[in-house]
Chains A and B, each alone.
Chain A
Amino acid sequence: MRLLVHNLLMCNKCDKNNYPLKIEVNKSVIMELEFKKDAILKLIPKLDFEVLSNTVRELGFKQFPKQIPPNVEQDLAFLKDLHRVLFETHIMDGQLTCPNPSCKRNYPITNGIPNMILTEDEQ
């Protein structure tokens, strides 16, 4: 699972305060991918950047900016960082947790695949 997916996922067991899910990482890998500036620029407006930034910083990349830098198209250093966190970082093992204190449902990530299926009584 990449952080792009995390940016889209929510908990379905509850319907309030169910986004963004908290991430716990046991194992992550970097898989290198060709840097395509255009592709990443197109993706930026589709993201909840605040959520992405908070997640990235919580995971230890403290220098990652809180907001999209002003001259983003020229900011190659930022774009490369973003490329790394969005496209190249894969969470292979860990779990996602619903942020709603009255829910806190855990969703395991195994072999890079989050399991979001609810049990019969949770639906």
Chain B
Amino acid sequence: MDLDIAIDAREKVRNPTIKLNKKLAIAIGTLTKSEKKPFDELVSQEPTNKLIAVHFGVGDQDDYNTICNFVKQFGQNKVMIYPVRNYAFIEFQNIQQSLQLIQSLQIFENIKYASLKYPNKERATMFFYTNQQELNGGGMCDIPNAMRQVNIPGLYLIHDFITPEYEKYIMDLIDKQEWSKLKQRRVQHYGYEFIYGDNTVNVNKPADKIIPDFLEDVRSKVSDLIKPQAEINQLTINEYLPGMGIPPHFDVHPPFHEKFVSISLLSGLVMTFKSFKGEEQHLYLPPRSCALFTGEVRFAWFHSIASRKIDKVEGETHFRSRRLSLTFRTIRNDLKCDCQYQFFCESQGYNPQTMKNKNPLLQEYLAKLNQIEIQQDNKVVPNKTQEEIQLLQDQQQQLLQIPKATEVEKKYVYEIYEKIAPHFSSTRYKPWPKIEQFLKSLEPGSLVADVGCGNGKYLGSNPDIEMIGTDRSENLLKICKEKSDAYQVFSADSLRLPLKSEMFDAVISIAVIHHFSNKILRQQAIRELLRICKSKGLILIYVWAMEQEEKTFNEQDVFVPWNLQFKYEDEKVINQEVQQQFKIDDQKKTVVYKRYYHVFKQGEIEELLSEMPGFKIVNNYYDHANWVVVLQKD
């Protein structure tokens, strides 16, 4: 070998910058190979709030912790790390934060990196902006994303049910007891032995061991929780090492009482719930938490733990480690269960041997449920009752000196939205494209009012305009704020907006005007939209159409039922402890509220507008069962 070249080669090894170039090549190689996308597609030249970090490690807990530690100084974020992949995915709340991270990095040529101290070694970690919403991460993207909170009927998760000190105390003692070995896991049984496969116990055969004294504190705390059910008399301790799971099952109805709890020790993991209707939800059970199973989730949902070593929790990687679950149950003496879920209840005709795969009771129940739903979601809107007719007549007779809300709006619009806000919002998440299109067509920097903004589903439609929302319902506004702290909302009456005149470049009124019960109020609401709008500004108005296919109306002034699911309702109302005017539907588990609407005939909104000055109609169309007009102020 030529001497010069030999020296040159040695130089290369010693020169760390040459090493960085090599590392970049490795990073590009593994990223493109593993993600099956070209590097140009994976990285973004423009700053975004998402980053790919190439850490050159093995994607374990140490790599995860080190990266989390480094990135958290720049703001709140989520980190996904992928086992046996040398890169991670980071999502910040905003671009500022990722920008600051990138600006803090060392630069060599075009490579931006930080020297991070991983437990075994200091390694350069390279960062790139990305437009990807998630990475494949060797199949990590297929792991369901679990939530820290779910809405499952009858399930309650209590955080920090026991203290870390108590956890340590009982853990030491539990580990001194004898474990019985199952094929998959180790278990301990107290009170009665749980028979896996049948998911029951033999009531005539109490286990040799009763619940140990050192668990008495937690046992009595659980007993308090399940009152008035009889005290806990059975305990199963399961040990789950990373990779272990349990197939979908539910505890047989008798001999177990309704309520039982599962307490997680040492490490958290994700439990999967599947309802009798087939819907699936994934919940993260943190260490020292207590999951209380009652009602529907206990009787009619399967729960399971996937055999995995890692979980995905709200977009972040979660490594499992050793977890113990303490399942406390009450064994009942009578073997009769009177739950409403006959299709899974052995004391009411369910036979696990013959009906496991084909369950006629369940089919019957689902068919019945389906029918009720069709009936309730009734296409045909019922005619007004005598009372409702009277109410409308009374209001019409009042002389409207000051146009203000009548009893109809108060009782059948304002109060109802306040009541149904969370349920309503859960059904109104998808923005309608034409409305978004309207908002996106406005000039950047436009000041826009959304009068009757509801749950705020349009407040974020166009980040280049300034939107301010107002609504009468404070509960709906709270939901807006939960969606984004940045949303600007205030509560007000749309018949009299507390806003200065001629300020807004555009105003939208989506599904609002049809809630006013007479023409004077409908015109007053439109007059307010015009007043706050600037000259040449645009006003978009949506009102419900009578001629729609979704529902059939026999008359224009209607009271449309809203079936509020029990889970959104105050227990006092369900149990009829408080006086109220609305019907309770026990079968469908809903309280039936009614909302007042004036449904518009084709051309009616234009006619209403023809009596008003100061604008021209620049567009009108039909969209999503609504008549739509776009006005331009003179």
A residues lining the B interface (CB < 8 Å): 1-2, 4-5, 8-12, 19, 31-34, 38-39, 41-43, 46, 48, 90, 111-118, 123
Rounded to whole angstroms, the CA-CA distance of A38 and B94 in the bound complex is 19
Q: In the complex, how many angstroms separate the beta carbon of A110 from the nearest chain B beta carbon?
A: 9
Which chain B residues border A31 with CB–CB below 8 Å? Answer: 485-486
Pair A123/B496 contact, Cβ less than 8 Å: yes
Q: Which one of A42, A117, A118 contacts B445 once the chains associate, using CB atoms below 8 Å?
A: A42
Check if B95 is an interface residue, CB within 8 A of chain A.
Answer: yes
Give the dominant DSSP class at B's interface: mixed
A42 touches B444 (CB 8 A): yes
What size tier do the contact residues of chain B reach? 20 to 34
B246 interface residue (CB < 8 Å to A) = no
Cα distance A39–B462 when bound, in Å? 13
Assembled-state Cα–Cα distance A4/B446 (Å): 13
Of B470, B474, B490, B492, the most chain A CB neighbours within 10 A belong to: B490
A1 contacts which of B95, B402, B444, B488 (Cβ < 8 Å)? B488
Cβ contacts under 8 Å, A12 to chain B: 492-493, 496-498
Q: Which residues of A contact B404 (CB under 8 A)?
A: 123
Complex CA–CA separation, A9 to B555 (angstroms): 39
- Chain B positions 58-97 with a Cβ under 8 Å from a chain A Cβ: 75, 94-97
A10 partner residues in chain B, CB cutoff 8 A: 498-500
* Chain B 460-478 interface 0/1 with A at a Cβ cutoff of 8 Å (1 = within): 0000101010101010011
Inter-subunit contact A112/B445 (CB<8 Å): no
Which chain A residues lie closer than 8 Å to B503 at the CB level? 8, 46
The verdict on A33 contacting B96 (CB below 8 Å), with A42-B444, A114-B491 known, is yes
Specify which chain A residues have a CB less than 8 angstroms from the CB of B402 in the assembled complex: 123
Q: Tell whether B411 is near chain A: CB-to-CB under 8 Å.
A: no
Could you say which of B95, B447, B481 contacts A43, with CB atoms under 8 Å apart? B447
Instruction: Say yes or no: A4 contacts B490, CB within 8 Å.
Output: no
A22 to chain B, nearest CB (A): 14
- B146 CB contacts on chain A under 8 angstroms: none
* Cβ-defined contact, A8 with B445, below 8 A: no
CA distance A3 to B257 in the complex (A): 57
Q: Can you give 8 contacting A-B residue pairs, CB < 8 Å?
A: A12-B498, A19-B500, A32-B75, A33-B94, A34-B95, A39-B444, A113-B489, A116-B498
Is there an interface contact between A2 and B488, defined as CB atoms closer than 8 Å? yes
CB nearest to A118 among chain B residues: B493
Nearest residue, chain A, Cβ from B503? A8
A sample of 18 more A-B contacts (CB under 8 A), given A43-B445, A43-B466, A116-B491, is A1-B488, A8-B500, A10-B498, A12-B492, A12-B493, A12-B498, A19-B500, A32-B75, A32-B94, A33-B486, A34-B95, A39-B464, A46-B505, A112-B481, A113-B481, A113-B489, A116-B493, A117-B491
* 10 tightest Cβ-Cβ pairs between the two chains A and B: A42-B445, A116-B492, A114-B490, A116-B498, A12-B498, A123-B404, A115-B491, A32-B96, A34-B95, A113-B477
- In whole Å, how far is A17's beta carbon from the nearest beta carbon of chain B? 13
